[in-house]
Structure 1
Amino acid sequence: MTPLKYLQGYPAQLQDQVRQLIAGERLGDYLAQRYGGRHSVQSDKALYAYTMALKQEHLKNAPAIDKVLFDNRLDLTHRALGLHTAISRVQGGKLKAKKEIRVAALFKEAAPQFLQMIVVHELAHLKESEHNKAFYKLCEYMLPDYQQLEFDLRVYLTWRDLQGRAPT
């Protein structure tokens, strides 16, 4: 039985369906049919603009974001596809917090829906720090098919591993 490390938390029935696609060498076809194409967001500047547009549309009152970038150091071995940070610094007599969002560079090659899912996930952390019910409700508000995209993203990562493409 093929171990599916990205899908371990999902029901056995779903995992079996993915295993059947793998066995029939149809997993790539499934992904290409649902998520063909690559997004056009290829620079840090474009990613910042993309993220800010989503934030403005859904989270107008959330804290400001100071930096958004693709990060080559984020990888799947650290279980991080995206990262949100708040760096606090003392400037004069005030404490300043800078918020950053970093997206794994492997998403430069991904379908637009996967990039959107990762950005929505990181934006949701501006309001909800924990992965709780309120967090996922906010993700669904910003991206109605969030749960399906998260599952399919995990299927995509499984397919990448099977192709021998070491995640960057």
Structure 2
Amino acid sequence: MKIPPSEACQVLDDRGVLKRHRQDHSARIIEHVNDLIGGVMPADLEEFYKERIYQVADFLAVSPIWNDHVGWRTDDSLVTRLLRAQAVPLFWDGCGSLYGLDLTVGESTPGVYFFDHEDEFARPRWATGSSLGAFLLLLAEHDQALDEGRAAGWELSIDPDIDKCSRAPALWLA
């Protein structure tokens, strides 16, 4: 389900679960990430960086951090960590694993997947959003869904296309 990241961010802002970086270095970040991934990034990723996302609920975003006094404060390997699996990191899960946006050529609306640190991020383990915007909305609900003991597949109420992601099944099907 194509939900633009900007629309998802507006919903998350209204709910009070979105924190942003104070300064806007998005143009510099977009150029830097394009250089690191060796091509033109998907439009959703560019929009994600323009939103200056620092945190959604308890999940910290993964993006390069620029400091006007010292330059890049983030090691390039953080951005390139998922490249061998054709993805770019978006968020930490809080336990060392990553959520990453699919960079597979040909995906007009790239999905978001969970990459486990236990297999050194070798492949996507399960789908976490059929688009970046849908993923952001699901991420904001993640911990609450666990606390409430929601049934497997609750994600379909927010992202009806999550079980159609091409690289890995949805969590309840994995």
TM over 0.5: no
- TM-score, with length taken from structure 1: 0.32
More helix by proportion, 1 or 2?
A: 1
More relative contact order, 1 or 2 (CA 8 Å, 6+ apart): 1
- TM-score, with length taken from structure 2: 0.31
